[in-house]
Amino acid sequence: MAATRPGPVIVLVRPQLGENIGKAARAMLNFGLTEMRLVEPRDGWPNPAAGPAASGADNVLADAKVYPTTAEAVADCAHVYATTVRKRGDTKPVVTPEEAAGEISAREGRSAILFGPERSGLETVDISLARSILTVPINPDFGSLNLAQAVILCAYEWSKVAAGSVVQPTQEDTLPPAPQEELEGLIGHFEQLLEPRRYFFPEDRAEANRRTLRNVLTRPGWNHLEVRTLRGVLSALSRTPDVRK
Protein backbone atom coordinates (compact mmCIF):
# COMPACT_ATOMS: atom_id res chain seq x y z
CA MET A 1 0.00 0.00 0.00
CA ALA A 2 1.28 3.48 -0.82
CA ALA A 3 2.45 5.58 2.10
CA THR A 4 0.21 8.30 3.53
CA ARG A 5 2.48 9.35 6.43
CA PRO A 6 4.54 12.55 6.29
CA GLY A 7 7.81 12.21 4.43
CA PRO A 8 11.07 12.02 6.33
CA VAL A 9 12.73 15.19 7.56
CA ILE A 10 16.01 15.84 5.74
CA VAL A 11 18.64 17.01 8.23
CA LEU A 12 21.86 18.49 6.86
CA VAL A 13 24.44 18.40 9.60
CA ARG A 14 27.07 21.16 9.41
CA PRO A 15 26.69 21.67 5.63
CA GLN A 16 29.52 23.69 4.16
CA LEU A 17 28.44 25.29 0.88
CA GLY A 18 25.25 27.21 0.25
CA GLU A 19 25.16 25.80 -3.27
CA ASN A 20 25.00 22.27 -1.88
CA ILE A 21 22.14 23.17 0.43
CA GLY A 22 20.26 24.57 -2.58
CA LYS A 23 20.95 21.47 -4.66
CA ALA A 24 19.76 19.27 -1.80
CA ALA A 25 16.53 21.29 -1.62
CA ARG A 26 16.04 20.81 -5.35
CA ALA A 27 16.57 17.06 -4.99
CA MET A 28 14.07 16.92 -2.15
CA LEU A 29 11.31 18.78 -3.96
CA ASN A 30 11.80 16.72 -7.12
CA PHE A 31 10.53 13.74 -5.15
CA GLY A 32 7.98 15.31 -2.85
CA LEU A 33 9.98 16.10 0.30
CA THR A 34 9.72 19.60 1.72
CA GLU A 35 11.00 19.66 5.31
CA MET A 36 14.68 20.56 5.62
CA ARG A 37 16.53 21.15 8.88
CA LEU A 38 20.05 22.56 9.12
CA VAL A 39 22.52 22.00 11.94
CA GLU A 40 25.22 24.64 12.26
CA PRO A 41 25.60 25.55 8.57
CA ARG A 42 29.21 26.66 8.17
CA ASP A 43 28.46 29.90 6.32
CA GLY A 44 25.37 30.81 8.29
CA TRP A 45 21.75 30.96 7.20
CA PRO A 46 20.15 32.20 5.06
CA ASN A 47 22.86 31.77 2.44
CA PRO A 48 22.54 33.77 -0.81
CA ALA A 49 24.24 30.99 -2.79
CA ALA A 50 21.52 28.48 -1.96
CA GLY A 51 18.66 30.09 -3.91
CA PRO A 52 20.11 29.91 -7.44
CA ALA A 53 21.26 26.33 -6.86
CA ALA A 54 17.79 25.31 -5.72
CA SER A 55 16.39 26.08 -9.20
CA GLY A 56 12.93 26.96 -7.94
CA ALA A 57 12.75 24.90 -4.73
CA ASP A 58 12.48 28.19 -2.84
CA ASN A 59 9.74 27.02 -0.47
CA VAL A 60 12.03 24.29 0.88
CA LEU A 61 14.73 26.86 1.63
CA ALA A 62 12.31 29.43 3.03
CA ASP A 63 10.87 26.90 5.49
CA ALA A 64 14.23 25.40 6.49
CA LYS A 65 14.88 25.56 10.23
CA VAL A 66 18.30 25.95 11.85
CA TYR A 67 19.34 24.07 15.01
CA PRO A 68 22.46 24.38 17.17
CA THR A 69 22.85 20.61 17.60
CA THR A 70 21.88 17.45 15.80
CA ALA A 71 20.11 16.19 18.91
CA GLU A 72 17.80 19.22 18.90
CA ALA A 73 17.14 18.86 15.18
CA VAL A 74 15.77 15.33 15.63
CA ALA A 75 14.22 15.73 19.08
CA ASP A 76 10.67 15.23 17.75
CA CYS A 77 11.57 12.28 15.51
CA ALA A 78 10.98 8.71 16.61
CA HIS A 79 13.03 7.12 13.84
CA VAL A 80 16.42 8.53 12.86
CA TYR A 81 18.61 7.23 10.04
CA ALA A 82 22.26 8.21 9.64
CA THR A 83 23.71 8.11 6.14
CA THR A 84 27.26 6.84 6.03
CA VAL A 85 29.40 4.40 4.05
CA ARG A 86 32.19 4.18 6.60
CA LYS A 87 32.51 1.22 8.95
CA ARG A 88 32.54 2.39 12.55
CA GLY A 89 32.17 -0.86 14.45
CA ASP A 90 28.59 0.01 15.31
CA THR A 91 25.97 -2.65 15.87
CA LYS A 92 23.08 -0.56 14.54
CA PRO A 93 20.89 -2.10 11.82
CA VAL A 94 22.03 -1.23 8.31
CA VAL A 95 19.38 -0.53 5.65
CA THR A 96 19.27 0.67 2.06
CA PRO A 97 17.28 3.74 0.98
CA GLU A 98 14.57 1.42 -0.34
CA GLU A 99 14.33 -0.45 2.95
CA ALA A 100 14.32 2.78 4.92
CA ALA A 101 11.47 4.16 2.80
CA GLY A 102 9.40 1.06 3.50
CA GLU A 103 10.06 1.32 7.22
CA ILE A 104 9.25 5.03 7.34
CA SER A 105 5.95 4.47 5.55
CA ALA A 106 4.95 1.71 7.97
CA ARG A 107 5.95 3.26 11.29
CA GLU A 108 4.13 5.71 13.53
CA GLY A 109 5.93 8.95 14.37
CA ARG A 110 8.19 11.29 12.45
CA SER A 111 11.36 10.07 10.77
CA ALA A 112 14.56 11.92 9.95
CA ILE A 113 17.50 11.17 7.70
CA LEU A 114 20.85 12.69 8.66
CA PHE A 115 23.41 13.80 6.08
CA GLY A 116 26.88 14.88 7.14
CA PRO A 117 29.24 17.63 5.98
CA GLU A 118 30.44 17.38 2.39
CA ARG A 119 34.09 16.86 3.29
CA SER A 120 33.95 14.40 6.18
CA GLY A 121 30.43 13.00 6.60
CA LEU A 122 28.69 12.46 9.91
CA GLU A 123 30.68 12.30 13.11
CA THR A 124 30.33 9.46 15.59
CA VAL A 125 28.35 11.66 17.96
CA ASP A 126 25.78 12.33 15.23
CA ILE A 127 25.52 8.68 14.26
CA SER A 128 24.97 7.73 17.89
CA LEU A 129 21.59 9.52 17.72
CA ALA A 130 20.36 7.26 14.92
CA ARG A 131 18.42 4.03 15.27
CA SER A 132 19.73 2.71 11.92
CA ILE A 133 22.55 3.24 9.45
CA LEU A 134 21.41 4.07 5.92
CA THR A 135 23.82 3.22 3.13
CA VAL A 136 23.88 2.08 -0.49
CA PRO A 137 25.92 -0.57 -2.29
CA ILE A 138 28.67 1.42 -3.96
CA ASN A 139 31.98 1.01 -5.76
CA PRO A 140 34.44 0.03 -3.00
CA ASP A 141 37.20 1.89 -4.83
CA PHE A 142 35.23 5.12 -5.04
CA GLY A 143 32.52 5.56 -2.44
CA SER A 144 32.15 9.32 -2.67
CA LEU A 145 28.67 10.79 -3.18
CA ASN A 146 28.06 14.51 -3.10
CA LEU A 147 25.38 15.84 -0.77
CA ALA A 148 22.63 16.29 -3.37
CA GLN A 149 23.28 12.82 -4.82
CA ALA A 150 22.89 11.25 -1.40
CA VAL A 151 19.68 13.18 -0.75
CA ILE A 152 18.16 12.31 -4.10
CA LEU A 153 18.76 8.58 -3.60
CA CYS A 154 16.75 8.66 -0.40
CA ALA A 155 14.08 11.03 -1.71
CA TYR A 156 13.54 8.91 -4.82
CA GLU A 157 13.01 5.74 -2.83
CA TRP A 158 10.55 7.56 -0.58
CA SER A 159 8.61 8.80 -3.61
CA LYS A 160 8.07 5.21 -4.74
CA VAL A 161 6.02 4.41 -1.65
CA ALA A 162 4.47 7.84 -1.05
CA ALA A 163 0.91 8.25 -2.24
CA GLY A 164 0.58 11.15 -4.68
CA SER A 165 3.99 12.67 -4.02
CA VAL A 166 5.12 12.39 -7.62
CA VAL A 167 3.58 11.66 -11.00
CA GLN A 168 5.00 10.20 -14.15
CA PRO A 169 6.12 13.00 -16.50
CA THR A 170 3.53 13.76 -19.14
CA GLN A 171 4.02 11.64 -22.19
CA GLU A 172 3.01 12.57 -25.70
CA ASP A 173 -0.54 11.50 -26.39
CA THR A 174 -0.66 8.40 -28.55
CA LEU A 175 -3.34 7.78 -31.13
CA PRO A 176 -5.15 4.45 -31.30
CA PRO A 177 -4.31 2.03 -34.10
CA ALA A 178 -5.98 2.77 -37.41
CA PRO A 179 -9.14 0.77 -38.20
CA GLN A 180 -8.72 -2.31 -40.34
CA GLU A 181 -10.34 -0.59 -43.31
CA GLU A 182 -7.56 2.00 -43.46
CA LEU A 183 -4.89 -0.65 -43.03
CA GLU A 184 -6.38 -2.69 -45.88
CA GLY A 185 -6.25 0.44 -48.02
CA LEU A 186 -2.55 0.81 -47.28
CA ILE A 187 -1.84 -2.84 -48.08
CA GLY A 188 -3.83 -2.56 -51.30
CA HIS A 189 -1.91 0.60 -52.23
CA PHE A 190 1.39 -1.25 -51.82
CA GLU A 191 0.16 -4.18 -53.90
CA GLN A 192 -1.15 -1.85 -56.60
CA LEU A 193 2.26 -0.26 -57.04
CA LEU A 194 4.24 -3.48 -56.70
CA GLU A 195 2.16 -5.60 -59.10
CA PRO A 196 3.32 -3.99 -62.38
CA ARG A 197 6.91 -4.13 -61.14
CA ARG A 198 6.68 -7.93 -60.84
CA TYR A 199 7.28 -7.90 -57.11
CA PHE A 200 4.97 -10.89 -56.71
CA PHE A 201 6.81 -12.96 -59.33
CA PRO A 202 7.17 -15.92 -59.72
CA GLU A 203 3.54 -16.95 -59.47
CA ASP A 204 4.18 -19.84 -57.09
CA ARG A 205 5.65 -17.39 -54.55
CA ALA A 206 3.07 -14.63 -55.06
CA GLU A 207 0.76 -15.66 -52.20
CA ALA A 208 3.64 -16.09 -49.73
CA ASN A 209 5.05 -12.68 -50.70
CA ARG A 210 1.65 -11.05 -50.23
CA ARG A 211 1.29 -12.67 -46.82
CA THR A 212 4.76 -11.54 -45.74
CA LEU A 213 4.04 -7.98 -46.89
CA ARG A 214 0.76 -8.01 -44.95
CA ASN A 215 2.53 -9.24 -41.81
CA VAL A 216 5.14 -6.48 -42.10
CA LEU A 217 2.51 -3.76 -42.51
CA THR A 218 0.13 -4.97 -39.80
CA ARG A 219 2.69 -5.59 -37.05
CA PRO A 220 3.51 -1.98 -35.99
CA GLY A 221 -0.10 -0.97 -35.22
CA TRP A 222 -0.01 2.22 -37.32
CA ASN A 223 -2.39 4.99 -36.29
CA HIS A 224 -4.49 6.76 -38.92
CA LEU A 225 -1.98 9.63 -39.32
CA GLU A 226 0.84 7.19 -39.94
CA VAL A 227 -1.24 5.26 -42.48
CA ARG A 228 -2.10 8.52 -44.24
CA THR A 229 1.57 9.51 -44.30
CA LEU A 230 2.66 6.18 -45.78
CA ARG A 231 -0.01 6.39 -48.45
CA GLY A 232 1.14 9.91 -49.26
CA VAL A 233 4.68 8.59 -49.68
CA LEU A 234 3.46 5.85 -52.01
CA SER A 235 1.44 8.33 -54.06
CA ALA A 236 4.48 10.57 -54.40
CA LEU A 237 6.67 7.69 -55.49
CA SER A 238 4.11 6.63 -58.12
CA ARG A 239 4.15 10.00 -59.85
CA THR A 240 6.40 10.72 -62.80
CA PRO A 241 9.40 12.63 -61.51
CA ASP A 242 9.58 16.34 -62.33
CA VAL A 243 12.92 16.70 -64.11
CA ARG A 244 12.66 20.44 -64.57
CA LYS A 245 15.65 22.34 -63.16
Q: Which of 128, 161, 194 is the last residue of a domain?
A: 161
Same domain? 48 vs 151: yes
Task: Please choose, from the candidates 100, 101, 112, 103, the residue with its C-alpha nearest in 3D space to the C-alpha of residue 35.
Answer: 112
What pLDDT score was predicted for residue 69?
97
Q: Are residues 157 and 186 in the same domain?
A: no
Q: Is residue 173 assigned to a domain?
A: no
Print the domain residue range for 204: 180-238
User: Where does a domain end: 105, 128, 161?
Assistant: 161
Both 117 and 197 in one domain: the answer is no
Residue 212 and residue 96 share a domain: no
| Number of compact structural domains in the chain | 2
Query: Which residues touch 27 (CB under 8 Å, ≥6 apart)?
Result: 148, 149, 151, 152, 155
DSSP code of residue 113: E
CA 96 – CA 156 distance, rounded (Å): 12
Segments in the chain forming alpha helices (H)? 18-30, 50-54, 58-62, 70-73, 97-106, 124-127, 147-161, 180-194, 203-218, 224-238
For the chain, percent of residues with pLDDT exceeding 90 = 64
Same domain flag for 193 and 81: no
Q: Give the model's pLDDT for residue 240.
A: 80
The string of DSSP letters for 144-182 reads ---HHHHHHHHHHHHHHHBTTS--PPPPPP-PPBPPHHH
Amino acid of residue 189: H
Rounded-to-integer distance, Cα 152 and Cα 68, Å = 25
Q: What is the mean pLDDT of residues 59-87?
A: 93
Confidence (pTM): 0.69
Cα–Cα distance for residue pair 221/195, rounded to 1 Å: 24
Looking at residue 16, its pLDDT comes to 94
Whether 89 and 153 map to the same domain: the answer is yes
Read off the pLDDT of residues 133-178 as tens digits, 9 standing for 90 and up: 999 888 878 877 899 999 999 999 999 998 655 665 555 567 888 8
pLDDT at 169: 58
